[in-house]
Amino acid sequence: MMSAQLKSRAETAPLAARLKARIAREGMISVAAYMDACVADPDAGYYATRHPIGAQGDFITAPEISQIFGELLGLWAVAVWQSMGAPKPVTVAELGPGRGTLMADARRAWRSVPQFLEAVTVALIETSPSLRDVQQEALRGSPAPVQWFDRVEDMPQGPLIVIANEFLDALPVRQLVRRGVHWHERCVAVDRHDAFIFTEGNALQAEELPEAALALDAPDGAILEIRPGAERLMSALAARASEAPLVALFIDYGHDETGFGDTLQAVHNHAYADPLAASGEADLTAHVDFAALKRSAKAHGLDVYGPMPQGAFLLKLGLEARRDRLLAGATPAQRDSILSGAARLTDPRQMGALFKALVLTSDGLAPPPPFGDF
């Protein structure tokens, strides 16, 4: 057993050193285990130690670009609630709320709908204690009660509306590499120069493979990414959907079809970085496979709408009308930022096409806006 002193020293060592010690002890670790440690290690992981999002952070997200994003999603939640038959109480849960900006903007939009404010409780699913503090500050004086949870499973039962922007891309991916007729786990090891390198584990047995890998005929060297955390989330949402009405919106960047390729990327100071070079100091994400998500949601009995490109989704929710209302009361400097923010969210050359919106509902609910009549 380690002495208390040694243990505490090990726990405060930089993440890279701890991961190298772990690899020396246990051998190579999977890409998923590496990504999990880099992003979510409670002591030294990226989200635990940094304030990553925004102009001062490493990357910027839609709610940080324009208040219109959170306002439209807030009003989307109200329309969904109405289509559920206006249940009271209702929970609006946000997964991975970052700086709390989206929810703060949504909540402002709810001020014009007092019946909704009387019914709603906000649940924030967040694992990072430092981001929880930022969220608490952003939502100070909230007219709706706010509670924090570690996992979807921990929320009380009842009608639920879920919003998740750039949450899924932060969940670790496994990478499988095709060699001949076999798939191998892509792993991280340490080379002679004490640097992390990618390597491959033994061939996986058929029973260790996800269905997607069995069904695909892949060329030699192909990489298939799978996201166990997204699978678990689908199963947790479906379990709730069998008890009470549920509508969940996921907005993220990714592809419509399951494909091959390594999409693991690190972003540091608004620039791409080497995923193996800056463990715990850069944001590590991978593209969302919307086709896999849809398959998993359907297999769990959920209804699926989309994915729809983010630009089309926001325009159908009324982005232009909201933008023009803001412009009417704006100074010339504010005008520029309102216009450029709105364009950045919707322009297909910016976030309008790579980002997509997928909506899942419990069986038998009306199509959610903007997919049904709206």
Q: How far is the CB of 309 from ligand SAH (least distance, A)?
A: 17
By C-beta, is 262 or 283 nearer to ligand SAH? Answer: 283
Transcribe 347-364 into DSSP letters.
-TTTTTTTEEEEEEE-TT
For ligand SAH, the closer CB: 359 or 365: 359
DSSP state of 366: P
Beta strands per DSSP E along the chain: 29-30, 90-95, 120-125, 146-149, 160-165, 174-179, 182-190, 196-203, 223-226, 246-255, 265-268, 271-273, 283-285, 288-289, 303-309, 355-361
Give the whole-angstrom CA distance, residue 374 versus residue 83.
10
**Contact present, 23 and 189 (Cβ < 8 Å):** yes
Cα dihedral angle (339, 326, 94, 286), rounded to 10 degrees?
Answer: 0
Q: In the complex with ligand SAH, which residue's Cβ is closer, 96 or 369? A: 96
Which lies closer to ligand SAH via its Cβ, residue 167 or residue 313?
167
Q: Which of 132, 361, 153 is nearest to 249 (CA)?
A: 361
| 61 vs 91 by CB, closer to ligand SAH | 61
Q: How far is it, in rounded angstroms, from Cα 241 to Cα 84?
A: 13
- Helical residues (DSSP H) of 31-111, grouped into ranges: 31-40, 46-49, 62-65, 67-83, 101-110
Q: Which is nearer to ligand SAH, 164 or 176 (CB)?
A: 164
CB of 194 to ligand SAH, least distance (A): 29
Q: Answer yes or no: are the C-beta atoms of 302 and 38 closer than 8 Å.
A: no
**What is the number of H-type helices and E-type strands within the chain?**
15, 16
In the bound complex, what is the minimum distance in angstroms from residue 6's beta carbon to ligand SAH? 29
CB of residue 299 to ligand SAH, shortest distance in Å: 22
Q: For the chain, report the end-to-end CA distance as a whole number of angstroms.
A: 62
Pick between residue 82 and residue 130 the one whose CB is nearest to ligand SAH: 130
Q: Give me the residues that bind ligand SAH (CB under 6 A), please.
A: 40, 47, 53, 61, 63-64, 96-98, 102, 125-128, 131, 165-167, 170
Rounded to 10°, the helix 228-241/290-299 angle is: 40
Rounded to a whole number of angstroms, the minimum distance from the CB of residue 196 to ligand SAH is 21
Residue 204: exposed, middle, or buried by beta-carbon count in 10 A (0-12, 13-18, 19+)? middle
Least distance CB 102 / ligand SAH (angstroms): 6
Minimum CB separation of residue 4 from ligand SAH in Å reads 29
Nearer to ligand SAH, 119 or 293 (CB): 293
- Residue number of the CB closest to ligand SAH reads 96
Q: Smallest distance from the beta carbon of 51 to ligand SAH, in angstroms?
A: 10
Return the H-helix or E-strand segment holding 274. Answer: none
SS3 258: coil
- Give the separation between CA 142 and CA 326, rounded to whole angstroms: 22
CB of 171 to ligand SAH, least distance (A): 6
The nearer residue to ligand SAH, 39 or 297, going by C-beta atoms, is 39
